[in-house]
Amino acid sequence: MILSSGLALIAVCLGTVGAQSVSLESKVVSYPPYVPVKQGAYIIELEDGSTAPSFSAFTESFKSIPNVSVSGQFDTLFNGCSVSAGSHVSAAQLARVAGVKRVWPVRYHTLPFRKSTVNITYPYLHHKTGVDRALQDLGLTGRGIKVGIVDSGVDYNHAELGNCWKTKDCPWQYGADFIGDKYDPSSLHPIVQPNPTPMDCDGHGTHVSGILAAQGPSVRGVAPGATYGMYRVFSCPINGKVSSSDEIILQGVEAAFKDGHDVISLSLGGGSWPEDPLSVACSKLAKQGVVVVAANGNDGANGLYTAGSPAVGHGVISVGSVDNWNITGSIAVISTPNGARSALMSTPGAESHPFVFGSDMPLLAPVDAAGSNTGCANFTTSLSGKVALIKRGICTFTQKAQNAQKAGAIGVIVYNNVAGMLSPSVDDSVTIPVVIIGQDDGQFAADGIAAGNSTVRAQKGEVGTFPATTGGQMSSFSSFGPSPELDIEPLVSAPGGNIWSTYPLKLGGYASLSGTSMATPYISGTVALLMQARPGLNVDEVRQILSNTAKPLADAVSGKLIHPYWSGSGLVNIYDAVMARAIASPSALSINTTDWSQAQALTRTITIRNTDNSKGVFVSLEGKAADSLSMYGTNGSLTAVPRIWPPSTAGTSPTMLPRVSTTSPYTYVPAGQSKDVLVFIIPPYGLKESERWFYGGFINLTLSWDRETAKSSLAVPFAGYNGNYRTVDVLSSPSTGLPALTDANQVVISDVSGLVVSGNSTALLLYTLDLPSRVIAATLVSSNGTTAGYLPFGYNEYTARNLPSGGNPLSGATITNIVFTDKEASQAVKVPAGRYRVQLAALRPLGDPNNSRDYQKWSSDLFSIA
C-alpha cells in the first residue's frame, strides 16, 4: 500500500494543554497529507458581517501578528483575504483574530485535462446540440453577452480568435495575467510574475477559448459574437505540470466578477465539497447573478462521488462530457495478403517520435519469450527494421515498447483488446514511435500477418474520418455525482471527448483535447446564446431551462437511460432551450431517504411556469427510470465502475425501477401562469439497503399547446439514495483490511496488542473513505477511556473520498507519543506511557458534527506507548 505523499511526523512545539474548544468544528481547515499546499499561505474568510469599510482595520490586526503579511484581498466576491505567515505562525493563531470565519491553507492546483490524439472535424458537433440552428436559423452569436474565462491564457494572435487584444471590435476586451510563466509549486517560493497580457504558453486556455469564441473556418465557436475576457491563472508547463493555487484562481475569478461578466467559465477544479474555498466563492458569484459554469471533473474512472469543486458549489452549473461522434485523424495503411485497410491511429503524444513511415515497412506480430502476443516478456527474435504489432494487456505500453525497442523494432503498433480508442502514454525511455489502433483493425492486421508478408505505411497528413464507437455516449473520464450532500451533479453535459479546437500558434495552431474542460466552455457558449435570445433570465432560470431542455442519454447497447449522477439532465440542446415556452423547477430533485414515515422526504413539488402569454398548455407527466447504481460489487468490495440494477433488460418488472406517482398526471397551465404539481418518487422494490444503491430517472413533461398539434417535452432529473442516507458508512468495508495500524512502511501490524510506540518510533493509522466525510477525527484514547487528543494529521474537515486510481488512494494519521489537544493542531502534548487505542470517527453524510451518534466509529486494539 502506498500513500501518494508520505506521512511524516510533523515538527511540533510542545506546549501546555490548552482549553478544549467548545465547538466541535474547527475554524481551521486542514487538508489530508496528499493535498499539496503552499507553506505559510492561507485564505481567510471573514464573518459575513465584516464588510468592506472595516476591512482595512481587520487586515491591520493580521499585520500586527509578527511575520504575517496580507498578500491579497477579496473584497467583492469573497469576504476575506490571503496572508503569508512565517513558519512559526500557526493557522490557529490566525483563526483567533476577531471576525475570522475560516482559515484555509492555500492548495496548489494543476490543470486537469487529457491530451487526445487525433484530429477531429469540429462542425459535426453542432447539429447534435442545437447550436447549428441557434446560430443559423435564429442568428444568435452571443452578441452583447460578456463571458469571462479563467484558464491558462489565450493565444489572441490566432486568426480564428481575432488576432487582436483589447482593440476596437476585438472579441478580447477584458482580462489580465495573474501568474506569469514561472510558477513552480516544487520551489519554496513559487514565482508570481504576471505578464502584461494573458498570453497562453500551455494550450489549454487557447483550446477552451476556441470552443467558445473561434470565428472559423476550421473551428466554429459556440458563441463567436460574444465579448470575452481571459483571466490567466495557470502558468507555463514546468516538468510537465501546469500549476496554480487557490489564491491565484480566486484573484482571477474576483477580477472577472469586477469586470461585470454575465458568464464565468471555469475549466478547472479540485476538492469535492460546496464548502471548498473555490465553491464558496463561486456560490457567492451565482447569488450575485453571475452564471458560473464549471467542469465536473475527469475522475469518472473512479465512479461515484468524483464531482469536483467549484462544480459542486451551490448554484454553479456543473458540466459532464459526452464523446464526439466522428473522429478525424491520422491513419496507418495496413497492407496484407487479405487486402489493405486504413486504421485510425491514436498517438501517445510523443511529438519528437511521430509515427510517420512514408513507404511500406514490414509489419510483424512477434511472439515474446512467454509465448504471448502481448509483448510483456523479451522478444527472442530480432525485429530489426520492422514494425511490431502487439496486443494490449498484461503490462504497460512502456514495457511493450521497451521490449520491441530492445529487439530492434523501428515502431510499435499496439492494438486494443476491447472496443474503442484510448490514449496510451509511454515514458521517455521509449524512443521509437508508438501508436494504438482499434481492436478490429488490430485483428485484421494480425490475421493478415498470419497469412503472409504484411506492411504498414503512415504518411504525414494522411487522415480519415471514422465514426467513434463511443460517439454521443458519456466520456469514460467524466466524473460522477452526487455531491457529498446528495445534490445531483453534473447539471448538464456537452461534447468534451475528442474536441478539435484552436491551439497556440507556436504549438501548431490546432489540437484535439478531451476533458470536462472542453465540455465546460461549450455550455458557457450555449448560456451566452440563451442570454442573448432571452435577456433578463436569472441564474436559476438559466439552470432550469438548460436542464429542462437537455436530452437524457441512453446506453448504446441496452438502450436504458443513463443515471443523472453521470450525465445530469443529459446532452444540452440550446435551440430547444431558446425556444422553450415553459419552465419546470427545480432543475433537479434529490431524495435522501426511503423511509416512508418521512413522507415529506419523498414528496416534491414541481412548478410549471407557462412563459407564453398568449397560449395555455396541457402538461402530461410521466416517470422514466434509469438504472440504479451501487459503488459495491456483490461481495461488498468497492467497484470502480458502478454496478447497475436491474442487471439486464430481460425480466425487468416495473417494481425493480423507481416510479413517479402524481395526483395530477394531466395539468392545464393557462397563458402566462404557473401551476404546482406534487410528485411522489417511489423507490425501486427489492434493493437491499446494505448494498447501498442510488436510484434515478427523469420526470418527462409532455407539452401540448392550445391550437397546436406538435408536442414538445421538458425533463426534470431525479435521484435518491435507497435507504436512509444519514446511516451510510463512509469508511471502506472491513473486507479491505482497513482501517488498520501499520508500521512506518505501511505494513499492517497483525498483533496490535504487542505494538510499542516509543518517542523515536512511529506507527500509522491508515484508512480509506468510500464517501466524502465532513469531519474525520482520529484520537488517542487511554485504556481508562480518557481521550488524550488528536493524532498528528488526525483531524480533517470536508475531506474528499479516496480514489483507488487517483492521487489519494489512502488516508492516514501518525501515531507517536505526541497528540494535539486542539483541532487546529497548535497545542501539542506528550502523553504519559501506558496502554492506548486509536479511535477513528468519520461523520456520516448529512450528519450533525455535534452529535456523536452521527459518526461511524472504529477502534484499534490496545497497544503501548513507552
Ligand X SMILES: *[C@@H]1O[C@H](CO)[C@@H](O)[C@H](O)[C@H]1NC(C)=O
Q: Quick one: which of 138, 159, 340, 601 contacts ligand X (CB under 6 A)?
A: 601
From candidates 101, 115, 353, 726, binder to ligand X by CB under 6 A: 726
Alpha helices in 182-295 (DSSP H): 204-213, 246-258, 277-287
Q: Is 151 a catalytic residue?
A: yes
Among residues 564, 570, 601, the alpha carbon closest in space to that of 723 is found at: 601
Give me the least distance between CB of 631 and ligand X, in Å please: 13
Kindly give the pairing relationship between strand 387-391 and strand 357-364: parallel
| Shortest Å distance, C-beta 206 to ligand X | 14
- State the nearest-atom distance from the C-beta of 854 to ligand X, in Å: 10
Closest-CA residue to 698 (of 476, 550, 481): 550
Binding of ligand X at residue 613 (CB under 6 A)? Answer: no
- Report phi then psi at 441, rounded to 5: -65, -40
Shortest distance in whole angstroms from residue 592 CB to ligand X = 4
Find the shortest distance in angstroms from Cβ 796 to ligand X. 16
Q: Is 126 a catalytic residue?
A: no
Does residue number 593 form part of the binding site for ligand X (CB under 6 A)?
Answer: yes
**220 versus 261: smaller Cβ distance to ligand X:** 220
Q: Which range, of 132-140, 174-182, 672-680, 698-706, touches ligand X by CB under 6 A? A: 698-706
Residue 598 CA from chain centroid, whole number: 33
Least Cβ distance, residue 848 to ligand X (angstroms): 6
Sole window of 183-191, 460-468, 527-535, 650-658 interacting with ligand X (rule: CB under 6 A): 460-468
Q: Does 698 participate in binding ligand X (rule CB under 6 A)?
A: yes
- Sequence-distant (6+) residues with CB within 8 A of 391 are 373, 374, 375, 414, 415, 417, 442, 446
The edge-to-edge listing of strands for the beta sheet with 114-115 is 114-115, 510-514, 499-502
Q: Which of 21, 93, 724, 787 binds ligand X (CB under 6 A)?
A: 724
How open is the CA angle 770-774-775, to the nearest 5 degrees? Answer: 100
Using the rule CB under 6 A, which residue among 166, 406, 688, 857 binds ligand X?
406
Angle at 848 between CA 845 and CA 851, to 5 degrees: 120
Catalytic residue among 151, 177, 323, 368: 151
Minimum CB separation of residue 788 from ligand X in Å reads 7
The three-class DSSP label of residue 334 is strand
Question: Would you count residue 239 as binding ligand X (CB under 6 A)?
Answer: no
Interface region with ligand X, contact rule CB under 6 A, candidates 428-436, 488-496, 542-550, 694-702: 694-702
Site residues for ligand X, 86-145, by CB under 6 A, read: 86-88, 118-119, 124
What residue is closest to ligand X based on CB? 124
| 3-class SS of residue 371 | coil
Minimal distance, residue 63 CB to ligand X, in Å? 13
Residue 674 known to be catalytic: no
96-133 burial string, b = 16+ CB within 10 Å, else e?
ebebbbbbbbbbbbbbbbbbbbbbbbbebbbebbbbbb
Residue 608: name the closest of 667, 566, 556 by CA: 667
511: cell is 489540437
Q: Exposure pattern of 710-735 as b/e (b: 16+ CB <10 Å)?
A: eebbbbbbbbbbbbbbbebbbbbeee
In the region spanning residues 466 to 505, those forming contacts with ligand X, defined by CB under 6 A, are 467
Residue 260 CB, shortest distance to ligand X, in Å, is 35
Distance from first CA to last CA of the chain, Å, rounded?
27
From 18-26, 27-35, 250-258, 477-485, give the range in contact with ligand X by CB under 6 A: 18-26
Q: Measure the CA–CA gap between 775 and 259, rounded to whole angstroms.
A: 37
How far is residue 380 CA from its own chain's centroid?
Answer: 44
For residue 53, the surrounding DSSP H or E stretch is helix 52-63
**Residue count at the site for ligand X (CB under 6 A)?**
55
Which region among 44-52, 152-160, 168-176, 707-715 touches ligand X (by CB under 6 A)? 707-715
- Footprint (CB under 6 A) of ligand X, residues 771-800: 782, 784, 786
Q: Which candidate, 134, 318, 289, places its Cα nearest to that of 225? A: 134
Q: State the nearest-atom distance from the C-beta of 633 to ligand X, in Å.
A: 4
Label the pairing between strands 693-705 and 711-721. antiparallel
Q: In this chain, which of 64, 239, 384, 635 binds ligand X, going by CB under 6 A?
A: 635
SS (H, E, C) 715-729: EEEEEEECCCHHHCC
What residues between 731 and 750 interact with ligand X by CB under 6 A?
735
Does residue number 559 form part of the binding site for ligand X (CB under 6 A)? no
Strand partners, 385: none
Nearest residue (CB) to ligand X, 633 versus 670: 633
Residue number with CB closer to ligand X (188 or 613): 188
* Given 204, 207, 261, 563, the catalytic residue: 204
Residue among 108, 325, 355, 522 that touches ligand X (CB under 6 A): 325
Using the contact rule CB under 6 A, the part of the chain among 145-153, 250-258, 394-402, 629-637 near ligand X is 629-637
**Catalytic member of 454, 517, 628, 860:** 517
How far lies 190's CA from each of 248, 277, 488, 712, 776, in Å?
12, 21, 37, 55, 31
Residue among 12 and 463 whose Cβ is closer to ligand X:
463
**Partners of 322 in the beta sheet?**
474, 495
Contacts to ligand X by CB under 6 A: 22-24, 66-67, 86-88, 118-119, 124, 325-326, 329-330, 369, 377-378, 406, 452-453, 463, 465, 467, 508, 510, 552, 592-593, 601, 624, 633, 635, 637, 698, 700, 702, 711, 713, 715, 724-726, 735, 758, 760, 782, 784, 786, 832, 834, 846, 848-850
- Catalogue the active-site residues: 151, 204, 517
